[in-house]
Structure 1
Amino acid sequence: MSAEMSSGGRIARRFAAVAQELRPALVTFVTAGDPDLETSARILAALPKAGADIIELGMPFSDPMADGPAIQAAGLRALNAGQTLKKTLALVRDFRETDADTPIVLMGYFNPVYQYGPEKFVADACAAGVDGLIVVDLPPEEDDELCIPALKGGLNFIRLATPTTDDRRLPAVLQNTSGFVYYVSINGITGSSAPKTSEVAAAVERIKAHTDLPVAVGFGVRTREQAAAIGRTADGVVVGSAIVQAVAGSLDEQGHATDGTVAAVEALVQELAEGVRFARQMAAE
């Protein structure tokens, strides 16, 4: 286990830091290379300054089965612009030259990792400054494929729990999970509907009965108000589709970045950050 992991790592330190501020973490998702590599790097650099606590960086894939139309389109834009997994790791490495503290989690599917070579991927991801992985199509029964090598290499392996993950299944899901648990608040694809606050609160409480890890809630959170509502009980609030749509809405007719692309992401993330910062204050009132 690496020194980074043994000391708790960036993810653990960040959750501890925001807990000291009596608020949840804002976890933001963007697709690597969307709409192009240069703009993607500028967006990545802007996220922490706008209020993002943890960054999920999507690894573009041609068959993203769990993603809604917005993230599918973002992945397609990135792939059409020439994004590869090697370039995604380089993006993280460049980010680390100016930001040594913000946790970065790579999120995506196993196929690109398999093509890259799991052992080489783990080594290169660690060297680039990646902190964790979310691989949505690898169940616990296949932990030997990537989860165990990732943990041994020093990467957190973050697992998804869903409304259909019952108490019998949950221990298996949590067995090798580290960093945090990502609770998918709705059934279906990303960005398809809004989560119900009362149901999310009950689910977070149930998961916490099985683990000491932070629980971050995502899928369907789009506004400052929703972020505040979910953040009253969750340790982290994940926003993806809304940010990706902010990118898409800023592009020109040819799908290229404009002068307003980075600013559009910054403005939305700043609003969301305001929401999570007031989440616990609202709960106390």
Structure 2
Amino acid sequence: MSAPSLTTEMSKTDTLNPAFPNADSRLARRFAALKAADRAALVTYVMAGDPDPSASRDLLARLPAAGADIIELGMPFSDPMADGVAIQRAGQRALANGQTLALTLEMVRDFRQRDDDTPIVLMGYLNPLQRFGEDRFLQAAAEAGVDGLILVDLPPEHGAALTARARDLGLARIPLVAPTTPPGRLPALLAQGDGFVYRIAFNGVTGSRRLDIAAELDSALDALKRQSPLPVAVGFGVRDGDTAAAIARIADAVVVGSALVERLAAAGVDAALELTRELAESIQGARRGKS
């Protein structure tokens, strides 16, 4: 009889400590340094293997120097329900080029040979992890130098065991909080949260356009910060420097994905890095002169 998977095995406790215990993790160090500098983090999302393996590795290696404080590396999946057209197409290109979960972990290992400071968070869906083997994946991710996981389709009711095992290995489990998350459900999400909280800016898929994102989020972020000690990152819909700067004034981190993926697809690695520099400059200057 096979052992139960980490997502179905019952945890000894339904409530986990929301404060990530490893204060010396890359994520903790990075957010502490940014807090001391009084600025938000730029979190850049790119899809592993897109537009091709060589360009993807090149981009990953050069993102920190262009201003990325934290890197979200997408794990390609054929049915990415939370992603908009740009990231869906990026995943399709990566899969068509033979990108696998094993190759994605290899990319992280190679990156760590040159950069042992920049946090890397893997973002994706549960199915590829289950096919790889959940326990095997967590062990391999930790050994490769991954710092955290965002699993879009793993609810807290089924995630406690995976979260506990990830914590044992020093991997943060970053929760996604949506505008529609019921107040009664929020404690369960935050209890399984480490590293930072990813606050989705609005209902919809990645890459959607929305005006006045920051104005709509101000009070919601205040409420969220009262319930969790973790830094709060805002993503979905951030497409330019002005929007990134507005969010950087009220959040601890700004996540940019679709705009970067689109620029990469249209104009290549150098153009994507130029957009990264523009966003980083906007975020770094966002709080200057703020009362």
Q: Which range, TM-score by smaller chain?
A: over 0.9
Tell which deviates more after alignment, 92-101 or 148-157: 148-157
Tell me how far apart the structure 2 counterparts of residues 116 and 20 of structure 1 sit (CA, whole Å).
40
Q: CA deviation at 1:129?
A: 0.3
Deviations 1:69-126 (A, max 9, x none): 0000000000000000000000000000000000000000000000000100010000
Deviation at 1:146, TM superposition (A): 2.4
Shift of 1:208: 0.4
1:165-197, Cα deviation, whole Å (9 max, x unpaired): 232221111011000000000101001122521
**Corresponding residue number in structure 2 for 1:103:** 119
Cα contact 1:183–1:216 (8 A) shared by 2? yes
Q: Residue type matched to 1:120 in 2?
A: R
In 2: Cα distance, 1:77 partner to 1:137 partner: 22
Cross-structure match for 1:152: 168
Higher deviation after alignment, 168-177 or 66-75: 168-177
Q: State the Cα distance separating 1:282 from its structure 2 match.
A: 5.1
Instruction: Specify the code of the residue in structure 2 equivalent to 1:43.
Output: L
Counterpart of 1:203 in 2: which secondary structure?
helix
Among the aligned pairs, what percent are the same residue?
Answer: 55
Number of residue equivalences? 271
CA contact (8 A) 1:46 1:262 kept: no
Between 271-280 and 138-147, report the one with greater CA deviation.
138-147
Q: Which amino acid aligns with 1:211?
A: S
Do structure 1's residue 84 and structure 2's residue 100 form an aligned pair? Answer: yes
Tell me how far 1:201 sits from its aligned partner: 1.2
- Provide TM-score, normalisation by structure 2: 0.91
Aligned to 2:5: none
Alignment of 1:1-285 (within 5 A): 6-144=22-160, 146-194=162-210, 196-250=213-267, 261-281=268-288, 283-284=290-291
CA shift digits 1:142-163 (9 cap, x unpaired): 1145222212221000010011
Aligned counterparts of 2:216 and 2:100: Cα–Cα separation in 1:
38
2:23 and 2:252 map into 1 onto residues whose CA distance is: 20
Which secondary structure does the structure 1 equivalent of 2:157 belong to?
helix
Secondary structure at 2:290 match in 1: helix
Displacement of 1:215: 0.2
Residues 140 and 205 (structure 1), Cα distance of their counterparts in 2 relative to 1, 3 Å cut: same
Separation of aligned partners in 2, 1:203 and 1:35: 36
CA–CA distance in structure 2, aligned partners of residues 201 and 172 of structure 1: 23
- Cα distance in 1, alignment partners of residues 202 and 22 from structure 2: 34
**Partners of 2:213 and 2:243 within 8 A in 1:** no
Which string of whole-angstrom CA distances, capped at 9 and with x for unpartnered residues, describes residues 52-79 of structure 1?
0000000000000000000000000000
Q: What SS class does the counterpart of residue 277 from structure 2 fall into? A: helix
SS at match of 1:97: helix
TM-score by length of 1: 0.93
* Cα root mean square deviation, aligned: 1.3
Per the alignment, residue 258 of structure 1 pairs with: none
Deviation at 1:262, TM superposition (A): 1.4
Structure 2, unpaired ranges of 5+: 1-19
Could you list the structure 1 runs, at least 4 aligned residues long, displaced by more than 6 angstroms after superposition.
none
